[in-house]
Amino acid sequence: MFTDKESFKQAYLMKLIEGEGITADEATPWDKFVALVMLLKEKMSYYRAINKNSISQGKQIYYFSMEFLIGKLLHNYLVNFKIENLVREGLLELGINLDELLEQESDPGLGNGGLGRLAACFLDSMAFLGIDGHGNGIRYKYGLFEQKIVSGNQVEIADNWLKNGFPWEIRKPDKAVIVKFKGTVRPELKDGRVVFNHENYEPVLAVPYDVPIMSYNNPSYINNLRLWSAETICSELDLACFNRGEFNQATSFKSEVEAISYILYPDDSSRAGRELRLKQEYFFVAAGLGTIVRSYKKKNGLSSLHDFSRRVSVHINDTHPVLCIPELMRILIDEEGMGWDEAWNITVNTMSFTNHTIMPEAMEKWPIDMVKTLLPRIFMIIEEIDRRFKEDLVERFMDDEEVVSNTHILKDGYILMANLAIIGSSSVNGVAQLHTKILKNEVFKDYFRVFGYKFNNKTNGVNHRRFLLAANPKLSHLISEAIGPNWKEDAGELKKLQAFKEDQSFLEQLAKVKYENKCRLADRVNSNYGIILDPESIFDVQVKRIHAYKRQLLNVLKIMHLYNKGVNEPQGLSGSQTFIFGGKAAPGYHYAKTIIKLINCLSKKIEQDSRVCQNLKVVFLENFNVSQGELIYPAADISEQISTASKEASGTGNMKFMMNGALTLGTLDGANVEIKEAVGEENIFIFGLTAEQVLDYTRNGGYKPWDEYHEHSDIRRCVDQLNAGFFDNMGDEFRTLYDSLMIYNDEFFILKDFPSYIQTHDKLQSLYLSQKDWNKISLLNIANSGVFSSDRTIREYADWIWKIRYRTINRISST
């Protein structure tokens, strides 16, 4: 194994020959990239082998999630091994540019937004803390979709991220699991107990692919992300059909099976789409739990299944994997012969559940008839869980019919998955203090009365080593020079930066780093889109999923207001502002796709108007992903976190921007509340209604947007411009947005918050003119961001939910 530059060069050239049978001169950039990946995987195997005997087999954590937005791995793992400079210099001496190799890697299409990125950060932190924590998800062949912007519109194309393969993964067909769909369940009496036989089912083979999750500076711990791919068990081709000329039918079953692991979140506007999503959710749950139990029995013996929950924790990331609960019950009762009470006790103590939303449409529910047909045995178990729970509840709350009525799992023809999750888990956590408070007092208030001891808060965190150390190397170098390198392993050390808040020289260096990061982003935008950004301007950024409650429309109305101001007042705009948007709209979400069109139309209108184009610029960056984020977060001056108060569970983008010195412009929503507590109210820019005010309005039927419309001429003008005439050749293209505000009562309080938003944004503009004050606040944001490291979050999960100890870690002392 290489230990210095010369041994690396030799090992790398040998890996090229071993892998492709070619020399460096003959190799393509892809060949060179794969060879480097294989060399790192070999290094991981080496460390695993030499540390195998020193690693104790503690409690195993399995994190089930529909998304794992892991991003590119090569650069991250070079940083984790602390060999980036060695590799860069060694490759350069071989005539190879490391940056060119890094560009060969695609962002894995395994997630969409914050839910998936949080799961990836958690896996990173578990490995760093020496926790045996493993991910369990689906190996999507085409991801969600690749977003293209054509004539201002979002166009979705297949994200063929696997077209060249994924060299980080290892296929393990010997670990495959059969997952059973449909069929019938026949009960019979056997040896004095009822046995349930699942017959005439449709089998699907779940084949695992393992991806290594490597810790920073801790090679002893390399955990796994296990991703499942759906395949047929029998022959891929019905030869008789094919020979009859029935070519489509000959391969139809194969296509139907493989569709299970084709794309993330298939459109569920049709019954077929909804059934496919339900298949996906059971597919990776059944495959994952089947493997976990099989592995556990092999390691601990059959008799120790009674101690299963003491040695295994299964964490359910939002409602998508909630079928873990009835599936584990099925395994313990049907396959292991346990009685109901013991199986239920083990299941509840094994499972823990994180809720990520209060939005009603995101609370999953499945039609009873669909579950009954597709998963007959699972439905029987859910029905029995509901029956027993209601029976117990009636005894405990006989005088409170409302509590009994509001806590059913089966209701109005549907299975309510969040309800099943709460009943069947030992812990239910929200992801920010405000979010958890709303869950307890509003969304799940009846369950909180029944299971108050289960509810707790675990505020989200992000991997500061990825989004600061690796993504912002110049800032990382500046920090290490000032306070030493320990912050890389203990984000709390960033607090020491507060000592430099009056150091003019340090603040100027901080500003220089920000400017260079803005230049880096501007170069990439110019290269990819031919758009020239001015790094001297304020970079005002909102990058996240496009959704009504995240209020990209409020941001656009602000820019329209600035446009109007610039047109009507020759000196109305001071300085230069660049507004950067990014994010995907769900394919069937017409409102969100209209927002994207609006942003691009406004960008074009501003660009073509000489009166304002020197002061304003709007750019929408297509196909926002982790790699783009790693460029954008370090370059941002203003972080737009403007969701309607009470709607955003936590947010993690707000934390990434904060770590990189952006100033937050936001509502008191999600983790913004805790960011304000951490940094001080004078160092964050809060506007708008509070969560309590929003909830109070909502209980009383909302507010009257027409009052705001008539009272504020600035609002009235911007809203009217949505209707017709302002955007050339658009007709009533944006009538939907106008109606959402004026006809459908502005559900997300955009007009109500508009005056406060404009006033606070103006305050930020004025502050930017005083660079010393701006840089000081930027520094204080970085210094107080350590509490939002995912290391802190995972320690809290380990202490309070999984009840495990994280270990003392032996770090790498040299390459």
Question: Would you please indicate which residues are annotated as catalytic (active-site) residues?
Answer: 356, 544-545, 550, 652, 656
Q: What angle do CA 77, 80, 83 make, to 5 degrees?
A: 85
Cβ neighbours around 249 below 10 Å, total: 12
Residue 40 near residue 74, CB atoms below 8 Å: yes
The DSSP 8-state label assigned to residue 786 in this structure reads G
**CB under 8 Å to 131, separation ≥6 — which residues?**
61, 221, 794, 798, 804, 806, 807
* DSSP assignments along 257-276, one per residue: HHGGGT-SS---SSHHHHHH
Q: At what angle do helices 626-635 and 504-529 cross, to 10 degrees?
A: 140
Q: Is 572 left (phi over 0), alpha (psi -120 to 50) or beta?
A: alpha
Give the tokens for residue 790.
Answer: 């995912």
Tell me if 803 sits within 8 A of 137, measured CB to CB. no
Instruction: Look up residue 714 and give its amino acid.
Output: D
Token readout for 105 is 């890697």
Q: Return left, alpha or beta for 638; rule: phi > 0 is left, psi -120 to 50 is alpha, else beta.
A: beta
Residue 720 corresponds to which tokens in the numbers above? 């009217």
For residues 314 and 681, give the distance between their C-alpha atoms in angstroms, rounded to a whole number. Answer: 38
Are the beta carbons of 533 and 525 closer than 8 angstroms?
Answer: yes
Instruction: Give backbone dihedrals phi and psi of 582, rounded to 5 degrees, phi first.
Output: -165, 150
Q: How many residues does the chain have?
A: 815
What is the distance between the alpha carbons of residues 761 and 638, in angstroms, rounded to a whole number? Answer: 10
How buried is residue 335: exposed, middle or buried, by Cβ count under 10 Å (0-12/13-18/19+)?
A: exposed
Helix, strand, or coil (residue 696): helix
- In 3D space, the residue among 117, 284, 249 whose CA is nearest the CA of residue 626 turns out to be 117
The angle that helices 473-483 and 504-529 make with each other, rounded to 10 degrees, is 170
CA angle 313–338–177, rounded 5-degree value: 60
| Residues in Cβ contact with 356 at an 8 Å cutoff, skipping those fewer than 6 apart | 114, 115, 317, 318, 362, 431, 649, 650
Yes or no: say if 790 and 117 are a contact pair by the CB < 8 Å rule.
Answer: no
Q: If DSSP codes are grouped into helix, strand and coil, which group holds residue 506?
A: helix
Handedness of CA 19, 25, 31, 37 (dihedral sign): positive
The residue behind tokens 């040695």 is 311
Cβ(35)–Cβ(27) below 8 Å: yes
Q: How many CB atoms lie within 10 A of CB 66?
A: 24
**DSSP-H helix ranges across 200-359:** 239-243, 247-250, 252-258, 271-300, 308-311, 324-330, 340-350
Cα 448 to Cα 141: distance, rounded to the nearest angstrom: 40
| Cα 461 from chain centre | 11
CA distance 486 to 492: 9
Pairing of strands 410-411, 414-416: antiparallel
DSSP 626: H
